[in-house]
Structure 1
Amino acid sequence: MAQGTLPRPASSEVTIDVVTMRRDLRVRQIGKVGYFLNALVAYFFLWAPILVLVLFSFNDSRSVAQWQGFTTRWYTGIFENVAGTSVRGSTTS
């Protein structure tokens, strides 16, 4: 054997390395999908309650348990009260 050359492995060792490499690549792919799904579920649990709150804020009923129709009166009432109290507070003092 010449100096500086490496001996070739047996053919069975080569197939084991190929099988191991394919398995490792498959595990990595599954891991990437797992990380993505984990992030997706986390964002869902963070944003879903906020979206439900915004959706139910347009409910015409005073109760959240019963949907009676679409309205924006709750938002107009908030802006009227806020604007009215700040003007009254600044003129009386």
Structure 2
Amino acid sequence: MIRRHVHVRGLVQGVYYRDTCRRLADETGVSGWVRNLHNGDVEAVFEGAPGDVQRLVGWASVGPGAAEVAECRAVAEDPEGDQDFRVLDDAPAA
């Protein structure tokens, strides 16, 4: 099991980014979460088998068809044992 914390910048809100991410995570058996950030970015965590997590990280750098991803950063973290994939409420403003 591996875990990646992903931060995506660009035109990534209002383009079904979170819903598509959730659907792909469910299809691949990846757990974690995705949420919108107040500044227009999207943040996600993917946890699961290395190949499946890498597939989601690769998808995150492109997003759904209407997205325009300018930057996608993925940081390795220790797995936490997430059991499902969730769309979280938007992050509060800083």
| TM-score normalised to structure 1 length | 0.20
Higher relative strand content: 2
Does 1 or 2 have the higher relative contact order (CA < 8 Å, sep 6+)?
A: 2
Q: Normalized per residue, which structure has more helix?
A: 1
TM-score of the aligned structures, taking structure 2 as reference length = 0.20
For the pair shown, which has the larger CA radius of gyration, 1 or 2?
Answer: 1
